[in-house]
Chain A
Amino acid sequence: MDSSFRRRVGQTGNLNVGHSDHQATTPSPLTRDLRRPRHAGLIEAVHRLDAEISQAARGDLARWIRDQYQTEVGDIPLGFVAKCHLGPPYVDHILDLFDNIVDHYAPADPMPEPFSKARMLVRTNAYAYIEIYGSGEIRPVYPDGTVVV
C-alpha cells in the first residue's frame, strides 16, 4: 500500500502525559457523563487543532481540550479522526491529543489502529468528529454536540 501521500504535522510532544499514564490514573467515568453533549467551544477547538500551524499553540489547545474532557466527560480520548479539509489527495486526519500530532491521510493510506475503525464514519459527513479511546471505544460526535456512546 502506498503511503507516500501521508502528511504529518507536528512532532512528538514534550507533554509528560502518556497514553498509559492517562489510562492508569483516570478513574472510571460515569456513563451519564460520557453521554453529556460536547459543547460548541470544544467542537470548535477540535477543529482548530487541525488548522493551528504553530506547534506551541497546538500544544496549548490540546492541553485545553484534554482538561475539558477531564472535567466535562471524565474520560480523555486518545485522539480524534475527522474529515480533512486540505483537499485531495487527503480525505481524513488523526488528531492525536497526547502526542500532539496531526496526520493527514489519502484514501489508500493505511491508518493505524484503533483510529482506522472510524474512517468509514468520517466519510459519511454526518459527524463533526470521532472520538477514539484507549479502551478501543469509538464515539462519534454530531455537529450539535450529541455523542453516540
Chain B
Amino acid sequence: MGDIDHHLRGQVSEVQRLVIQLDQTINQVGLDVIRVGHEAEQTRSELAALRTDFYNYVRQAELAANVQRSETKIGVLQDQIQHEFGHYKTVRLTAVGMLQAFDIGLVSEDTVRTVGEQLMMQTPRYWLAPALVGLAAWAGDDRDLCGRAILEAFRRSPSKASLFMSLILRRQRRPDASVRWLRHYLAAQDPAKLGRDFAVILESIAHGAFGSAGVELMHETLDRWTERLLNDENVQVAQVNRWRAEIDAFASAPAAADFPHLRNLSPQWPELEAALSRAQVHEPLIRKYEAMMAEEIPPTDRLEDAIDDILDRLVREYDNEELPLRRELAFHRAVVEHGGDLAVSQATVASQRAYDSTLDYLTIQSESALNPTAIGVSRTTQRLAVAACHEWFQRAHAAFTRDYRMALPPIVDVVFGTSHTIGAKTFQLPQWVGRLNEPMGRLEHDLAEHWDRHGQPFVDSFAFPLSRKLLWPIVTVIGVLVLIGVCTQSAGLAVLAALIAGGIWAAVLFGQYQTAQKQQAQARAYVEQSKQESLRQLRAAGAELTDWGSRYQQADAREAGVRTMIGDLANSGKAASPYERRTVLSK
C-alpha cells in the first residue's frame, strides 16, 4: 500500500512539474510572441520608410528627366523659331536701322531703297517688308510708291501697319499725322477682341510716346472701352480669376516636415496645412510688388530712342504665326522653372492668356501686369498695368483670404488609432480621440488612463493565479495526511508526510510565482513604454499645434499689409488707367 502511495505521489509530482513547466513555457511563448511582433512591426515600419524613400527617389528622377527633356526642347524650339521666322529678323533689324540711318544721314537713298526692295522679295507675306519700301520711298520723296507700299503693308496687317506708321510719324515729329493713324488704328479695334499688339499701345502710353494729342485720344477711347467692358460681369470675373491664379501661385510648399506628429495624428492636418501655406502668401506678395514699385527705371533721354524700343517690340513680339511655337516654348520654360513639375507648369501656362491671338482690353492690362515677358511689354508698362489692375488684385486677394480663413477647422483633434505606434499595434489598442483645444494635462491624463485600462488585461494575463494554484496542493496535502494517517495509524508520520508534500509544493509554487512576477513586470514595462511613447506623441502634437498657430497668425497678420500695399499701388498709378499718366517724353 505504502509503495503504491509512494509511486502515485511520485507520478502526481511529475505531472505537476510538467504542468508547471508547460505553464512557464506558455507564458514565455506569450512574451516571445510580443517581442517578435514588436520586431516585425519595426521591420515593417523600416520597410515602409524605405518604400517612401524609393518613391521619393523615383519622383526626383522623374522631375530631373522632365527638366532635362524641357531644356533640350527649349533649344530645339528656339532653333525652330529661328529657322522658320529668322528671315523676318533681318527685316526687323533693318526697320529700326533704316530710321536711325535717316536720323544721321549716313546712308544714301539708293542703298536704302535697294535694301527695302530686296527684303520685299525675300520675305513674301510679311507686313513689314512693304512698310520698309514705303519708308525708303518716303526718304526718296517718291509719293506714289510710298502710298502703294504703305497700302500693301496695311493690307497685310492693318493694325500693325497703322501702329507702325503712327509711331514713325511721331518719331519724325509729325504729331497730327501720327494721331490720324492712331485714330485709324483705334477705330478698327474691338475692345473685346484686340490683337496682342495692342500691348504696344500700353507701352507707348507708359513712355509718353504719343504726345499730348495722342494721349487725349487714348484717354477718350480707353475710357469708353473700360466702361463698356466693366458692364460685362464675366470679363471682370475673368480678370479677378487671373489675379487669383497669380496669388495662388505664391502658396508655399506644404510644411508637413515641420509638423510630423500633427500630420500623423490629426484628421484636420490637410486643412491646417492648406491654411498655413495660403497664409504665407502675403509676405512674398508684399516683397514682389513693393520691389516692383520701388525699382528705379531710368527714363530714355530721347524720344527717338523710346520709340525705337517700342518699334522694336512691335516688329519682334506680335507675329501670330509664331504663337504656337512660343506657347510651347513658354511651357518648357515653365517646366524648367518649376523643377520638372508638369502639372504645375501646365496650370501656369493655361492661366496665362498672353499667347492667345485675341484678347480683350482688360486682359491685355492683366497680362501686361502679370506676364510682361510673354506679352512683350517693358517693366515701366508692367508697373502701370499693375496699378491699373489694383481693383481686381484687391478683390482676388480679399476672396483668397476669406476662403482660406473660412476653411480653418474650429477644432483640432488628435486620433491615437490602433496603428499610431508599434506598441498600440501589438496590443491592438482601441482608438482614442482627444481635442487639442483642451488643456494638455487633461489630455495626457485621459490618454494614460486609456492605456492603463486597455493594457491592464494584458498585464493581468501574466499574474500568478494563487487561489487556483493553491487548491490542488491543499487537496493533495490533506489527502496525504488522511491516507498516511489511516494507513499507518500514526498522526506524527502523517503530519511529517503532509509537511514534506506541502514543502515540495510550496517550493515549486514559489518558483512559479517568481517567474510569473518577472514576466508580468516585463509585460507591464512593455505597456508602460508604449504608453509613454503615445504620451510623448501627444505632447509633441500639442507643441506642434502651438507652433503652427503662431506661424499661421504671424503670416495671416500680413494680410492687412497686402491691402495697404494694393492701395498704394492704386495711388502710384495716379489713376485707374495708365493713359492718365503725365506724358514724359512729349515734345
Contacts and interface: CB of A to CB of B under 8 A. Distances in A.
B559 A138 contact: no
A148 B408 contact: no
Interface in B395-453: 395, 398-399, 401-402, 405-408, 410, 437
A142 B437 CA distance: 28
A121 interface: yes
Contacts of A142: 398, 563
Interface core residue of A107, A120, A138 (most chain B CB under 10 Å): A120
A124 B405 contact: yes
Interface in B526-579: 556, 559-560, 563
A121 B398 contact: no
Interface string A94-124: 0000000000000100000000011111001
A41 B328 CA distance: 54
Contacts of A119: 410
Contact of A118 (B236, B406, B407, B559): B406
B301 interface: no
B296 interface: no
Contacts of B406: 117-118, 120-121, 138
A126 B399 contact: no
Contacts of B437: 107
B233 interface: yes
A26 interface: no
Nearest to B560: A126
A57 interface: no
Contacts of B398: 142, 146, 148
Interface in B221-277: 230, 233, 236
B395 A149 contact: yes
Contact of B408 (A32, A120, A146, A149): A120
B399 A120 contact: no
Contacts of B410: 107, 119-120
Q: In which size bucket is the chain A interface?
A: 10 to 19
B349 to A, nearest CB: 29
B48 to A, nearest CB: 35
A70 interface: no
A31 interface: yes
Contacts of B230: 32
Contacts of A138: 402, 406
A118 B556 CA distance: 17
Given A120-B410, A121-B406, A148-B398, A31 B556 contact: no
A121 B405 contact: yes
Contacts of A124: 405, 556
Given A120-B408, A120-B410, A126 B559 contact: yes
A51 to B, nearest CB: 26
Nearest to A144: B563
A140 interface: yes
A119 B407 CA distance: 10
Contacts of A149: 395, 399
Nearest to B402: A148
A119 B406 CA distance: 8
B405 A120 contact: yes
A140 B408 contact: no
Nearest to A119: B410
A121 B402 CA distance: 7
Contacts of A126: 401, 405, 559-560
Nearest to A139: B402
Contacts of A148: 395, 398-399, 401-402
Interface string A14-50: 0000000000000000011001000000000000000
A149 to B, nearest CB: 7
A142 B397 CA distance: 13
B554 to A, nearest CB: 13
A146 B437 CA distance: 33
Contacts of A117: 406
A149 B401 CA distance: 12
Contacts of A121: 402, 405-406
A126 B560 CA distance: 8
B402, B437, B559, B560 pick with most chain A CB within 10 angstroms = B402
B228 to A, nearest CB: 14
A142 B408 CA distance: 19
A148 B395 CA distance: 7
B271 to A, nearest CB: 10
B567 to A, nearest CB: 10
A132 B236 CA distance: 23
25 contacts: A31-B236, A32-B230, A32-B233, A107-B410, A107-B437, A117-B406, A118-B406, A120-B405, A120-B410, A121-B402, A121-B406, A124-B405, A124-B556, A126-B405, A126-B559, A126-B560, A138-B402, A138-B406, A142-B563, A146-B394, A146-B398, A148-B398, A148-B399, A148-B402, A149-B395
A-B pairs, 7 with minimum CB distance:
A148-B398, A120-B408, A148-B402, A31-B233, A121-B405, A124-B405, A140-B402
Interface of B: 230, 233, 236, 394-395, 398-399, 401-402, 405-408, 410, 437, 556, 559-560, 563
